[in-house]
Structure 1
Amino acid sequence: MMMLGAFLLFLTISCGSNKKASETSEQTESASVNVPQFDADSAYLYIQKQVDFGPRVPNTKEHVACGNYLAQQLEAFGAVVSSQYADLVAYDGTLLKSRNIIGSFKPDNKKRLALFAHWDTRPWADNDPDEKNHRVPVLGANDGASGVGVLLEIARLIQQQQPELGIDIILFDAEDYGTPQFYTGKHTEESWCLGSQYWSRNPHVQGYNARFGILLDMVGGQNSTFAKEGYSEEFAPDINKKVWKAAKKLGYGNIFQDERGGRVTDDHLFINRIARIKTIDIIPFEPEGDFTPTWHTIHDDMEHIDKNTLKAVGQTVMEVIYNEK
């Protein structure tokens, strides 16, 4: 009887211990981070505000006015804002009065994440089906304003609830002044992304580093889908995996498709090569080589911005940055 009693006592303790361990595990799983809800309507309004300035081409008054607005908006959201003014040389020798705009949250935190977009627009609609439009500036609702609009909404939410890591929102200039299709001279990838090339060599903080970066480009198009861009897979496959896993968890697996896309010469390429910060590009890219039907055309306007796409991208990025420890 004593042996049986001891056995029963051991069984009770063991079961109790297992129950306690199970409860602890469940509590850990349930203690997930409270991620703020991304407001696509708000992001849409930030895009509209940029478009209202007109095309934001370097060396124009519209460009200057929009740059001032973006810096003021980030500051209003509580970011520590700085600007990099630089004269950057375009493919044809044109001197571009450029401005990179940086908004930093928790600037003293050594653990940082970087979120990127470009805020300038294309001087020429050189991919427009109508050749008469090839020298008309692009309004850039999707190509430029959408990524910035998403980041402004993220900044607004960060002001209300700070993630654990410091966040840098970096808006690049002179991304879209690359060699036009009608140019008969030499075409090089270095003619693109002049602002990010400058920042990568001259970061806003000496010795700047981030755990990783996420670039948003053309993230508001109708019916857009996103594959894992080729250079992102080469330089930062683990970050791609993290982001696409977050999208799937949120129910956006139909938009963030788990397949490899083509390589795109974009700001992240130079951040990876020069600044050595692992950075991915969330950008739509079709197998036939096009981005979206409005890309570098006069139709890149608010009529073709989709709040569902903005929500999927914005909420996914929020899920990632708020779960970093």
Structure 2
Amino acid sequence: MSPAYRIPLGNVSLWLGLLVMLLACVEAYEKISDKTLTELLRPNNDFDIHNGALLSPILRTRVPGTPGSTAVLNHFADFFRTTLPKWTIEVHNSTATTPLSKGKEVPFRNFIATRDPPWASVGDVGRLTLVAHYDSKIEPEGFIGGIDSAAPCAIIMHAMRSIDAALEKKWSALKEQGLYDYLDEERGLQVIFLDGEEAFQDWTATDSLYGARALATHWDDQVYPAMSEFKGPLSSISLFVLLDLLGSKSPTVQSWYETTHWAYQSLGELEKRFKTLKQFKSASANPWFVDTDKDGHKLSPMGGIQDDHLPFLAKGVEILHLIDFASFKGFPPVWHTIDDDGEHLDLDTVEDWSMLVTAFAAEWMELEGYFDHPSAPSPRSDDESAELEALRLDRKTEL
């Protein structure tokens, strides 16, 4: 037995205080309070399909290698550089031939943004990774892809902006108090907007998932320095959360993987709490997360849904696939049709998704107590006076 370590009596209060703060910081998974749920920042007009700052620039054709794709890629870069300047951004480039390129190499560009604790080495940070593809189908001509996947990209952007200040406040407090050395693990955030998910002709193993396949292979070849906590970029992904086909009314999301069913259940619980608090704008009475009460050992088989997660899943990454699909209804009716545009998005549902992803990321990063802003307006303000609503909007503008 090791000899006992004696704490000087005069420092007992200090040590007790540090212990309380330390336990709060290293708790495995901390739920956010109802108060925080009701005060999370809302996108306001950012999802307006005509001039919303987040969504509208993505609602255009964006086939890989075209000017539309470049414009959307620049939109992502401008957003992070101006709104989230402490994030690290990079573009992963690759090329491949397609069935329509006549032997010519088509460029594919994955956008990656990362936010790690300022004191941590890159190989020591496990990241919550939020993913969506930003390319659009080449056919039908003029295809926009509102749910597939302009809205998911905007949802992720809103969520990261909403928690960034709280994240900075938490990390600053840990650094000032010298407590970061006592953390069980270093946690960071990562956003990936993948290019080339859609097939150019017919979906096959080689005509699909161009960006995802290239990035998974590239990261599999990368090795962090010796003595790092993680071997490389793939093993540092604590959870790969893929958002796809989100933005239609009354979504149905199933749980596909036993090892991440707990995270799926956390989202299902957040959905119930938002609805109980009357903080969802959409009117769906049915639960979105239909497998919340299921035993993780008794989930439905994958069912053949192919998406950007597959190259990462094949390399051992933990996957949470958030896609609107159910065996009894299939994909949303607008899927892969010309009607999948901004006008056919249900913007109340899009906003609710953005709040749900924000809350999930806040819980993952254990940000309870670090949000510092006035109460957000309730989404159900029909009975409020115009004067009070204007006052609330003014207060949010000041943020």
Flag structure 2 segments of 5+ consecutive residues without an equivalent.
1-26, 171-186, 224-231, 292-299, 367-399
**Which residue does the alignment assign to 2:163?**
158
Separation of aligned partners in 2, 1:122 and 1:225 = 22
Aligned pairs (5 A) from 1:10-159: 32=33, 34=36, 36-39=40-43, 41-44=45-48, 45=52, 46-51=54-59, 54-76=60-82, 77-78=84-85, 79-91=87-99, 95-106=105-116, 109=120, 110-125=125-140, 136-159=141-164
- Residues 7-64 of structure 1, C-alpha deviations (whole Å, 9 max, x = no match): xxxxxxxxxxxxxxxxxxxxx999849453342632442221211xx30001211111
Give the number of equivalent residue pairs.
276
Q: Which amino acid aligns with 2:154?
A: G
Amino acid corresponding to residue 309 of structure 1 in structure 2: T
- Residues 94 and 220 of structure 1: is their aligned pair in 2 closer, same or farther, counting only changes over 3 Å? farther
Q: CA deviation at 1:67?
A: 1.1
Structure 1 or 2, whichever has the larger Rg, is 1
TM-score w.r.t. the length of structure 2 is: 0.62
Seq. identity, %: 22
3-state DSSP of counterpart to 2:58: helix
2:91 partner SS: strand
Paired residue secondary structure (1:175): coil
Displacement of 1:303 after TM fit?
Answer: 0.8
Looking at structure 1, the residues matched to 127 and 264 of structure 2 have their Cα atoms a distance apart, in angstroms, of 18
Distance 2:271 2:98 in 1: 37
Q: In structure 1, what is the Cα distance between the partners aligned to 2:31 and 2:263?
A: 24
Relative to structure 1, is the Cα distance of residues 159 and 121 closer, same or farther in structure 2, using a 3 angstrom cutoff?
same
Q: Aligned to 1:41, what secondary structure does the other structure show?
A: coil
What TM-score, normalized to structure 1? 0.75
How large is the RMSD of aligned CA atoms in angstroms? 2.9
Is it true that 1:257 corresponds to 2:289 in the alignment? Answer: yes
Distance 1:310 1:200, change over 3 A: same
Shift of 1:97: 0.7
Question: How far apart are the structure 2 equivalents of 1:306 and 1:254?
Answer: 16
Aligned partner of 1:196 among 198, 212, 218 = 212
What is the letter of the counterpart of residue 194 of structure 1?
Answer: Y
Q: 1:311 to 1:31 in 2, by over 3 A?
A: closer
Superimposed CA distance per residue, residues 103-150 of structure 1 (whole angstroms, 9 cap, x where no aligned partner): 11126551321000101001112xxxxxxxxxx241112212111111
- Counterpart position of 2:261: 237
Name the SS of the counterpart of 2:76 in structure 1: helix
Pick the structure with more helix per residue.
1
Residue 267 of structure 1: SS of its match in structure 2?
A: coil
* Shift, 1:256, TM fit: 1.6
CA distance in 2, matches of 1:293, 1:60: 27
Q: State the alpha-carbon separation in 2 of the partners of residues 94 and 305 from structure 1.
A: 35
Match of 1:167 in 2: 189
